[in-house]
């Protein structure tokens, strides 16, 4: 008798690495056994799990490349038996005017021959709510939340129907809170009505986890779901899976501790300020100095080496919007971003080569660059530090193939004391 290859029920494609761990965290908390891969694996899945999250770094690349990578991920997930596909993007709907949420959604719909899907970044646990199609971050609209100043994806319109319609040829509509509050049957009726009007993608209102749990059953037969991580809490039940805490155990932690931060989001700025105010060792990287040449990476590692045995150190390029704008004006938006990412990735690698085995990385693009530089292929998902941010465990080429604990913190997630408290959560 031949052993049956493991088969998954849910196949997920995430457009950045922090977003991927955020989604995996919600699925694990809802009871699924989950593996996160970095990029599309070359080989079939070996682990016996319910879901795989394929982490891409496709949020800000040209749309055609994002589509090609997402379709590649889709084919691999289908080959592993995935019965439903989940395209995960940011809870603040981060995208450029050209995409990539619209183009990737369209391409996945075409490939899956799917004529209707939903789109909602709602994540109430992190105060992202959608009402009448408008996205709120906490108590304010998206375009007043600080996201209007994002270095790569400034979000200047909170009306998600409008934002998505500008990125897709398919007609975009709205499943509003009146339908969602009544439950799956009313959502189903609303979908039928929208379909008859030629709508192919519907933004969905959700202001609480109860809304998302009510929405879940209405999505059971949808080949493709597109969303932030919030919708994930309502899907495992469709496959007969119930919440459990056993899916999140990680090996014991050891080694030196460090934080690398390239996020310029409001929450990260507060977290850096909090770490510095607590008198902990922190080193700021100056992008203009990086651009001028010299060995800023070597200098940062030399600064960190004697401090690491005492406790966590922080190396950051995190800056206020005015400083970021001024750097971008001098270097160009993409050039500045890529240069800082390269430097922080080299620093992360150097830290791990020097014995760091507990590493926090802040920022989605930054995490992508760091995880790639660390030679990590796959992440095991552990317990949650704050909503959307779990500790993970991974074998790293930079650690000579040994395991390390790593947390990929989304820019706007986490409490102000996150950089200190994260390490306490591992003990």
Ligand X SMILES: Nc1ncnc2c1ncn2[C@@H]1O[C@H](COP(=O)(O)OP(=O)(O)O)[C@@H](O)[C@H]1O
| CA nearest neighbour of 388 among 205, 213, 215, 229 | 229
Nearer to ligand LB5GJZVW, 337 or 411 (CB): 411
| Both tokens assigned to 6 | 């493991």
Classify residue 421 by burial, with Cβ atoms within 10 Å: 0-12, 13-18, 19+.
middle
Q: What is the DSSP string of 382-426?
A: EEEEETTEEEEEEEBGGGTT-EEEEEEE-TT-S-TTHHHHHHHTT
- Residue 151 in the binding site for ligand X (CB under 6 A): yes
Q: Residue 324 touches which of ligand X, ligand LB5GJZVW, none (CB < 5 to 8 A by kind)?
A: ligand X
| CB atoms near residue 140 (< 10 Å) | 12
- Residue 248 in the binding site for ligand LB5GJZVW (CB under 6 A): no
For residue 19, the minimal CB distance to ligand LB5GJZVW (Å) is 3
Q: What is the DSSP string of 292-321?
A: T-S-HHHHHHHHHTTTGGGS-EEEE----H
What binding mask, one character per residue, do residues 11-30 give for ligand LB5GJZVW by CB under 6 A, x or -? -----x-xx--x--------
**What is the distance between the alpha carbons of residues 417 and 271, in angstroms, rounded to a whole number?**
6
- Residue 231 in the binding site for ligand LB5GJZVW (CB under 6 A): no
Nearer to ligand X, 195 or 270 (CB): 270
What binding mask, one character per residue, do residues 320-339 give for ligand X by CB under 6 A, x or -? ----x--xx-------xx--
**What is the distance between the alpha carbons of residues 297 and 303, in angstroms, rounded to a whole number?**
10
What binding mask, one character per residue, do residues 256-295 give for ligand LB5GJZVW by CB under 6 A, x or -? ---------x------------------------------
Residue carrying the six token digits 């085995």 = 357
393-412 binders of ligand LB5GJZVW (CB under 6 A): 410-412
**What is the distance between the alpha carbons of residues 21 and 25, in angstroms, rounded to a whole number?**
6
Nearer to ligand LB5GJZVW, 99 or 364 (CB): 364
Q: Residue 226 touches which of ligand X, ligand LB5GJZVW, none (CB < 5 to 8 A by kind)?
A: none
Residue nearest to ligand X (CB): 411
Across the beta sheet with 134-137, the strand order is 128-131, 134-137, 140-141
Q: Residue 63 touches which of ligand LB5GJZVW, ligand X, none (CB < 5 to 8 A by kind)?
A: none
Residue ranges in contact with ligand LB5GJZVW by CB under 6 A: 16, 18-19, 22, 90-92, 228-229, 265, 363-364, 388, 410-412
């Amino acid at each position: 008798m031949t052993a049956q290859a493991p088969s998954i029920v849910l196949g997920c494609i995430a457009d950045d690495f922090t977003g991927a761990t955020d989604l995996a965290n919600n699925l694990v908390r809802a009871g699924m056994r989950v593996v996160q891969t970095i990029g599309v694996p070359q080989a079939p899945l070996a682990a016996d799990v319910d879901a795989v999250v394929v982490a891409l770094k496709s949020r800000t690349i040209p749309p055609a490349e994002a589509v090609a990578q997402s379709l590649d991920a889709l084919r691999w997930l289908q080959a592993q038996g995935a019965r439903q596909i989940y395209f995960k993007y940011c809870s603040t709907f981060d995208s450029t005017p050209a995409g990539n949420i619209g183009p990737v959604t369209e391409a996945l719909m075409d490939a899956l021959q799917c004529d209707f899907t939903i789109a909602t970044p709602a994540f109430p646990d992190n105060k992202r709510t959608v009402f009448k199609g408008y996205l709120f971050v906490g108590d304010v609209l998206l375009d007043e939340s600080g996201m209007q100043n994002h270095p790569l994806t400034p979000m200047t319109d909170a009306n998600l129907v409008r934002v998505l319609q500008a990125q897709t040829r398919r007609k975009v509509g709205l499943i509003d809170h009146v339908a969602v509050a009544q439950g799956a049957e009313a959502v189903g009726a609303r979908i039928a009505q929208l379909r008859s009007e030629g709508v192919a993608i519907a933004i969905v209102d959700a202001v609480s986890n109860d809304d998302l749990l009510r929405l879940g059953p209405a999505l059971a037969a949808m080949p493709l779901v597109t969303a932030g991580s919030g919708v994930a809490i309502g899907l495992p039940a469709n496959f007969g899976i119930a919440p459990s805490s056993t899916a999140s155990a990680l090996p014991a932690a050891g080694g030196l501790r460090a934080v690398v931060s390239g996020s310029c989001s409001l929450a990260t700025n507060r977290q850096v300020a909090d770490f510095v105010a607590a008198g902990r060792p922190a080193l700021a990287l100056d992008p203009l100095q990086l651009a001028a040449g010299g060995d800023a990476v070597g200098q940062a590692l030399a600064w960190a080496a004697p401090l690491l045995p005492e406790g966590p150190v922080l190396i950051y390029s995190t800056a206020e919007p005015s400083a970021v704008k001024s750097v971008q004006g001098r270097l160009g938006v993409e050039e500045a971003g890529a240069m800082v990412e390269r430097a922080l990735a080299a620093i992360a690698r150097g830290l791990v080569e020097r014995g760091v085995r507990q590493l926090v990385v802040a920022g989605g693009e930054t995490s992508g660059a760091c995880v790639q530089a660390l030679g990590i292929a796959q992440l095991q998902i552990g317990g949650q530090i704050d909503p959307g941010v779990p500790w993970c465990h991974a074998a790293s080429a930079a650690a000579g193939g040994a395991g390390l604990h790593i947390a990929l913190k989304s820019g706007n997630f986490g409490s102000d004391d996150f950089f200190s408290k994260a390490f306490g959560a591992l003990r």
